[in-house]
Structure 1
């Protein structure tokens, strides 16, 4: 078995683990632990680091963990903590996808589409627009890894594009009196519409140039 085939097999196994873990591990136990540690900043910080490391494995949304940061630390401290954690945890599926590689078939075609997208937009602009768009974080990270986006552009674009989502989640967490699944709605339709509009504006120029080049 070649190294590439082994990497592809490892990637498929990882996807299976993520699918099973996301079905079995809901946020209830995490929220209960966070409530118990909320008045112990150091212990809560250790919890956040651990959660950010395993978050992609359980397919938990980044806003969920940002809400925890806002709940424990408030918006002033919680925002930089949550933004750094979100950006760092996004690196995990990015690097995993880069390691596994695109291969052929559907994944290969997706990688080719991603490469054309980032070739038209540039790595940094494409990443900022992808993060501002209301799309799940981990598929975006994996697509960027398959598409050959540079690590620097990925980190910078993720940090910039996640600002509005992280800010909304941290503010929502800071306003909660008690953590519960019923109170974890941080992103309203207004923010979703605004993020999508800015993403479209960022992509308008590259899209026009690409369309013009085909004529």
Structure 2
């Protein structure tokens, strides 16, 4: 047996290089957001100056910045809130959803093409669990993941990219799962100029409903899986 065959696969040069590229890229993005103050882009003052009233240019800029914002793991709820504030509830919901899905697509394919070997060997248990979770009904299970209140958006995108999950059903399920909270926070943001009491009350109700739905779907999945294991 050759020396290369004996060497653990995670230590092979190509795998290491891809892993290092992933780590350096994520670290650089974090430093860029911190050092240049980019984390303050999506704030009310910036929205007023560069986004509101700027037509298609403002909308496109918002989607690009919102996608970058969510891609590095910052809260998608903030994007939805400010989209509602800048564009109103209906258009804001659509643009925030587009930004969030775009961010997810970018991270997914980055992980798949640049870091698959490294992450699959570094976190085999997580990748295996997600593969198993998404194998039978990718769209439905992606919906459950996005609705469940305890899953992390960036981690899910990275691990899904590393796994063998089919992209289109995963993105479609993700978009459906993102939608309830996107509506909730766009409604909150749009409510600043409407009736804040009513918009807040409706948002609380919708958030509670989406959270309960996510938990129920998660419990249903766990129950079906346990019953399948027993049989």
Q: Same fold (TM over 0.5)?
A: yes
Higher relative contact order (CA 8 A, sep 6+): 1
Q: 2:84 aligns with which of 53, 56, 70?
A: 70
- Counterparts of residues 121-140 of structure 1 (less than 5 Å): 122-134=137-149, 135-140=151-156
**Residue number in structure 2 paired with 1:28:** 40
Contact map agreement 2:97 2:175 (CA 8 A) in 1: yes
**Residue number in structure 2 paired with 1:157:** 173
Residue 207 of structure 1: CA displacement?
2.4
Where 2:86 maps in the other structure, the secondary structure is: helix
- Counterparts of residues 71-150 of structure 1 (less than 5 Å): 71-99=85-113, 100-101=115-116, 102-105=119-122, 107-119=123-135, 122-134=137-149, 135-150=151-166
Residue 30 of structure 1: CA displacement?
3.3
**Residue number in structure 1 paired with 2:18:** 7
Structure whose alpha-carbon radius of gyration is higher: 2
Ranges of 4+ aligned residues in structure 1 off by more than 6 Å: 185-189
Where 2:120 maps in the other structure, the secondary structure is: coil
Contact map agreement 2:148 2:218 (CA 8 A) in 1: no
Runs of 5+ consecutive residues of structure 1 not aligned to the other structure = 178-184
Where 1:60 maps in the other structure, the secondary structure is: coil
CA gap of 1:155–1:103, structure 2 versus 1, over 3 A, is: closer
Deviations 1:150-203 (A, max 9, x none): 1111111111101111101111111225xxxxxxx9997755543332223324
Residue 103 of structure 1: CA displacement?
3.2
Where 1:168 maps in the other structure, the secondary structure is: helix
**Residue number in structure 1 paired with 2:3:** none
Runs of 5+ consecutive residues of structure 2 not aligned to the other structure = 1-11, 194-199
Where 1:59 maps in the other structure, the secondary structure is: coil
Residue 18 of structure 1: CA displacement?
4.4
The Cα RMSD (Å) is: 2.8
Count of residues in correspondence between the two structures = 206
Do residues 43 (structure 1) and 54 (structure 2) align? no
- TM-score norm. by structure 1 comes to 0.81
